[in-house]
Chain A
Amino acid sequence: MSDPAAHVVILGAGHAGGTAAALLRQYGHTGPITLVGEEPIPPYQRPPLSKAWLKGEADADSLALKPLEFYAEHDIDFRASTRATALNRGAKTVSLSDGTEVAYDVLIIATGARAIALPIAGAELEGVMFLRTAADAEQLKATVGPGKKLAVVGGGYIGLEVAASGRALGAEVVVLERETRLLARVACEALSDFFLACHEQHGVSFELGASAVAFEGQGGHVAGVTLADGRTVACDAVVVGVGAHPNDEIARDAGLETARGVVVDLEARTSDPAIFAIGDVAHRPMPIYDRMFRMESVPNALEQAKQAAAAITGRAAPAGEAPWQWSDQYDVKLQIAGYAFDVDEIVVRGDPASGKFAVFHLKGDLVQSVEAINSPPEFMMGRQLILGRKPISKQRLADPSVSMKEVAA
């Protein structure tokens, strides 16, 4: 039951929280909205931080989801540099880091995730950085340039995007990856091999199967990374990109149901009907895979912001989605749809050597996920096939002379 006069309090002013606030107004919510964000600036897009922004192709204004005036104009009480410290579900109040307390009718937890730090010696040295916030990106941009050597710990998407941007900024770049291949957690071998070759062509060097065991310092600033085999890789700066952890403590402490994040239903509602959780912090159902999991992507943040805003304003829930994400490195556009759950076969469509191909992950004759390199048709049609759970012919899928429209026909 929706109450247009309800006070909606949103904890976290990232992509999810900021979008939820704007959508509530777009959907006609007239009650007060309070948006509480830890960072000093209003909600902005994080993906360009490791891409266009790092290379100086986007500025703060273009990153902002909405201009600062938007919040006042739409009667959204945006509280910058403020964090929620406690949630009292009985009293329906939230305590904030500025000492104030806010009462809510409806609460949205959109506290996101934080970069995981490496628990090794020297982690506190100056020049050991993460890439999560605009401030992180600012620091990185000020540090990296010609004549500098950047060590990236972690060969996942963030690490690889930072490596590509580092090269574009003229720095020498080495990527240190614990596993024996890149993107080991998130992609298949064909893609790992492709990105390794692509980055090597652009002058990035790699240490695979290399665990960082300590950061070495000189005058309080990082000067090298020591590996498990005893070697030290000299560098002027380090970016650690080894994953993120959900900021779900406030929900746990308040007794909400949690798993790998705050557990929600298809409306993004938690075990407390007055509280929603959206974005990186939420552990959510995904009916096409018949399971629940936590995702870290902008499309997921947007989808859940829609779910929560629709539920709060009494609108019909958005139609189900096939999750997706993207990455830009050099002139490579990677678009990924779905997740490779329960996969029994992998079909590569096109020739990786051509720089244009797609990897389909199948469960029987159903597409579970697709990784498309410079191949929009495979991505767009793959997304529809994943959502529609429509069986396809593997032979036709593997044959690039059969168009994706014909494959899906």
Chain B
Amino acid sequence: MAKITYIENDGAEHVIDVKPGLSVMEGAVKNNVPGIDADCGGACACATCHVYVDEAWRDKTGAPSAMEESMLDFAENVEPSSRLSCQIKVTDALDGLVVRLPESQH
């Protein structure tokens, strides 16, 4: 299990044990963490699972694909740390990962 901390825009923290193999998005959705909508269920088709990855973790989460970057380019409130959480696969190496959620997913 990898412990992942999801921090809502209002500061509320959710610490979830996520099974390796799931995505960071699935870890949130399956545990009813508010703030990640994931309308398309992880198909990289909607950009409603937008998160900010804490700087310390950016190497370990890898780089976004061209498709993901292209989707992110048109999402709201995008920052250099923005990722689509459906595209980050959870591994043991991500134990301790912290992601922050944007104000809205539209």
Binding site for B on A (CB under 8 A): 22, 25-26, 45, 47-48, 51, 62, 64-67, 70, 74, 298-299, 302, 319, 321, 324, 326, 328, 333, 335, 376-377, 380-381, 384, 404
**Contact: B39 with A299, CB < 8 Å?**
yes
A302 CA to B41 CA, complexed, in Å:
11
Q: 4 nearest interchain CB pairs?
A: A380-B74, A326-B45, A376-B70, A45-B41
**Contact: B40 with A298, CB < 8 Å?**
yes
A319 CA to B39 CA, complexed, in Å:
15
Q: Is B106 interfacial (CB-CB < 8 Å)? A: yes
Q: Is B96 interfacial (CB-CB < 8 Å)? A: no
CB-contact partner of B30 in A67, A302, A326, A404, under 8 A: A67
In the complex, chain B residues whose CB is within 8 Å of the CB of A22:
32
**Contact: A48 with B41, CB < 8 Å?**
yes
In the complex, chain B residues whose CB is within 8 Å of the CB of A321:
106
20 A-B pairs within 8 Å (CB atoms) are namely A25-B32, A47-B41, A62-B26, A65-B29, A66-B32, A67-B30, A70-B30, A70-B31, A298-B39, A298-B40, A299-B40, A302-B37, A321-B106, A326-B40, A326-B45, A328-B43, A333-B44, A376-B73, A380-B73, A380-B74
Query: Can you name the residue of chain B whose Cβ is closest to the Cβ of A303?
Result: B39
In the complex, chain B residues whose CB is within 8 Å of the CB of A67:
30
In the complex, chain A residues whose CB is within 8 Å of the CB of B39:
298-299, 302
Q: What's the interface size class on B, roughly? A: 20 to 34
Q: A298-B39, A302-B39, A333-B44 are in contact. List 16 more A-B contacts (CB 8 A).
A: A22-B32, A25-B32, A26-B32, A45-B41, A47-B40, A65-B30, A66-B30, A299-B40, A299-B46, A319-B106, A321-B106, A328-B43, A333-B45, A376-B70, A380-B73, A380-B74
Contact A47:B37 (CB < 8 A) given known A66-B32, A377-B70: no
In the complex, chain A residues whose CB is within 8 Å of the CB of B41:
45, 47-48, 298
Q: Is B16 interfacial (CB-CB < 8 Å)? A: no
**Contact: A324 with B32, CB < 8 Å?**
no
Contacting residues of chain B (17-61) with chain A, CB-CB under 8 angstroms: 22, 26, 29-32, 34, 37, 39-41, 43-47
A302 CA to B74 CA, complexed, in Å:
21
Number of A-B contacts (CB under 8 A): 60
In the complex, chain B residues whose CB is within 8 Å of the CB of A335:
45
**Contact: A376 with B32, CB < 8 Å?**
no
**Contact: A376 with B30, CB < 8 Å?**
no
Q: Is B2 interfacial (CB-CB < 8 Å)? A: no
**Contact: A326 with B71, CB < 8 Å?**
no
Query: Can you name the residue of chain B whose Cβ is closest to the Cβ of A383?
Result: B74
Contact A376:B26 (CB < 8 A) given known A47-B41, A298-B41, A299-B39: no
A67 CA to B106 CA, complexed, in Å:
26
Per-position binary interface string of chain B over residues 55-77, scored 1 when its CB falls under 8 Å from any chain A CB and 0 otherwise: 00000000000010011011100
A326 CA to B43 CA, complexed, in Å:
9
A381 CA to B70 CA, complexed, in Å:
11
Give the distance to chain A from B73, nearest Cβ to Cβ, in Å. Answer: 7
CB-contact partner of A377 in B26, B29, B30, B73, under 8 A: B73
